Structures are given as C-alpha cells and as structure tokens.
Amino acid sequence: MLEAAAARFGFKLDWHSFNWSCETYLASGAMMPSDGLNHLRSFDAIYLGAVGRPDVPDHISLWGLLIPIRRTFRQYVNLRPVRLLDGIETPLKNRKPADIDFTIVRENNEGEYSNIGGRIYEGTSEETVVQQTVFTRTGVDRVLRFAFNLARSRRKHLTSATKSNGIIHTMPFWDERFRILSAEYPDIRTDQYHIDILTAHFVRHPDWFDIVVGSNLFGDILSDLGPAVAGSIGMAPSANLNPEKEYPSMFEPVHGSAPDISGKGIANPIGQIWSGALMLRHLGAFAAADAVEDAIAKTLAESAVRTPDIGGSSSTNELGEAIAQRVRRPT
C-alpha cells in the first residue's frame, strides 16, 4: 500500500526489515538483539505489526520489544483516531459517521505502565505485590499540551479522562495540570469525566467527543472501546509519536495479533494500512497519506469487499488489493 502511494506521488521509501518477533524469541531467547534499539535509532519511522503469541508470555513479548521502543524513543503520545466510516456498521443504534469522529491522545511513556514495584513473601499467605504509578509534571504536561494543540486544529474541544474521586494522588495531580494548562488555551472548550462514566458516554454519546486525553492505562482502555463503537478494532490505527522528532516515531495497529484467526488470511488489514497513512503524514507525505485514507474510505463506501469482522467474506489480501487499486488509480 505504501509502495503504491510512493509510486503514485513520486517518492521512494527506503525500507529495512527486522525480523524481531515471538518466533525470534523462541529461537534465540530474545525478542530483539541486545543492541536492537540502537539499530532503530537512526530511522525516520518504525512500522510495526501486531506482536504476541499464545506460547510466549505477554510480558516477555511486549516488554522485550514494543514498550522499550515507546520509552527509549520518547514516543510519549499515542495518537488513536476513531472514525465511523461510511459503509461500516456501528453496534450503536442510529449513529451516523458524523456522530463518531474523535481522537484519543494516550500518554505513552509513564503512568500506570511502570516497572517500579515488586513482590515479597512470595508463595506464602502474606504474599504482597506493589506496583507504583508514576506521573511526572514533565510527562503529564507534554501530553496535555499536545492534546490542547491538536484540539486547536480540530473542533476545539478537549475532554480529560480522570478518576480523581478514587485515586487520590496521581489523578488530582492530572486534573490540576489540566486546569492550569487550560488557562493557556482559552479558545479550547474543556471538560473532564471519571473514567467509569466516560466509558458509558463513549457508548451513549460518542458525538460528545473531539479530542480525549488520558493516562497510559485509561487511554489504552478507551482506545479499544472507541474503535469497537466505530465498527471494528481491526480497523483502528495508531501513531506512537515523539513530536519533537528527536527519535523515530512508531506506527502500528491498535489491535493485537489475534491468535484465534492466525494463518486464516482473514484479518482486517485496515488497522495496519491506516497506521501506514499516519506514518506517511508524519514523514511529510501529506498527499500520499490522504490518498491512502481516501482509498480506505471509498473502498468501504462503494464496494462490498470486506473481511468477516466487518460483515463480509473477503480475505485480507482481497481487501488490501481493493484498497491498493484505488491508491494506484484514484476514482
């Protein structure tokens, strides 16, 4: 898809593939070589496929590859657009594409995803486990600022996901920084909801949202729920951004490796393809990015080619090929 876009718009993508995966782990004992991150450092962008395999523990496959990449390269924004596309059915009653069009800005480097903690008295009845959530002012402010700025380029409405009624140290701090920074963005309408009722509002009132900003865990949960109300997790893209471009950013679908359908050739390719469009935009290939997104939208709106998750019987390749043709020859 990306090659098709590059050919049409007259630029070249210089790909280097790294076979870092659960298979690599099973063969070598590591998801990537010990100097793997150094290999990645000099690239402009990283295009990642979903990682995970039932016979490899998740904490090994994810903390051995994805999470170190997000952190080492300060990809502190995880940007996850949610859109109901024409021709896709939402499980919500009477909702049209205009009702579901928002973007989740997930904090991607700290928060609840922390490796600070431990276990004592293991195996005894006093077994005790502690895991620390880490919120830094730098970390909170930079993701909030990104969200405020993004809201400026959209409908100027920013919602914050919180839980300051139950989590009494980190979440009031998050709210405080949100309030303080909002004074610098008087043109942005703000609101905030506790994460529990916010999930209900995603289902009942998806039209209330423009940009939604949340901590690492809350953003993670919202970014599966959002695409589910927009019709399929299989279509959701994401961009792990280092906005300053000091390090490479990484582009990957929101969905996991779906071992239940592995090898059947029926996975929805759109999450991966759309993530590629986000990557093209990050690289400055704006027209190519728009063309790929356009091709996705038109294929779904004007043809019956669909994978089973969105109500069709086409294969991954058939849907991919249908989109690629529109990238090559716009209609």
Which listed residue (44, 58, 86, 121) is catalytic?
Answer: 121
CA–CA distance, 296 with 289 (Å, rounded to integer) = 11
Contact between 1 and ligand IPM by CB under 6 A: the answer reads: no
Contact between 62 and ligand IPM by CB under 6 A: the answer reads: yes
163 an active-site residue?
A: yes
Size of the site for ligand IPM (CB under 6 A): 4
Instruction: Report phi then psi at 214, rounded to 5.
Output: -150, 165
121 an active-site residue?
A: yes
* Residue nearer to Mn ion on the CB measure, 110 or 220: 220
Which listed residue (58, 196, 245, 264) is catalytic?
Answer: 196
The residue number with the shortest CB distance to ligand IPM is 62
Q: Which of residues 234-263 bind ligand IPM (CB under 6 A)?
A: 254
Q: Which of residues 201-230 bind ligand IPM (CB under 6 A)?
A: 220, 223
CA–CA distance, 285 with 258 (Å, rounded to integer) = 30
Q: Which of residues 89-148 bind ligand IPM (CB under 6 A)?
A: none
Lay out the site mask for ligand IPM across 288-327 (x = CB under 6 A, - = otherwise).
----------------------------------------
* Residue nearer to ligand IPM on the CB measure, 220 or 309: 220
The residue number with the shortest CB distance to Mn ion is 220
Q: Which of residues 202-231 bind Mn ion (CB under 5 A)?
A: 220
Q: Angle, nearest 10°, between helix axes 170-182 and 137-152?
A: 40
Nearest by Cα to 47 from 274, 330, 285, 314? 274
Cβ 83 to Mn ion, closest distance in Å?
Answer: 18
Cβ-Cβ contacts under 8 Å for 230 (sequence gap 6 or more): 82, 83, 84, 85, 88, 90, 100, 236
Q: What, of ligand IPM, Mn ion, none, does residue 62 touch, CB below 5 to 8 Å by kind? A: ligand IPM
Q: Angle, nearest 10°, between helix axes 2-9 and 286-302?
A: 120
Nearest by Cα to 135 from 78, 239, 216, 67? 216
Contact between 56 and ligand IPM by CB under 6 A: the answer reads: no
113 an active-site residue?
A: no
* Residue nearer to Mn ion on the CB measure, 108 or 133: 108
Which listed residue (99, 224, 290, 294) is catalytic?
Answer: 224
220 an active-site residue?
A: yes
**Amino acid letter at 226?**
G
* Residue nearer to Mn ion on the CB measure, 188 or 198: 198
* Residue nearer to Mn ion on the CB measure, 210 or 220: 220
Cβ 218 to Mn ion, closest distance in Å?
Answer: 11
Residues in contact with Mn ion by CB under 5 A are 220
Task: List residues with catalytic annotation.
Answer: 121, 163, 196, 220, 224
Residues in contact with ligand IPM by CB under 6 A are 62, 220, 223, 254
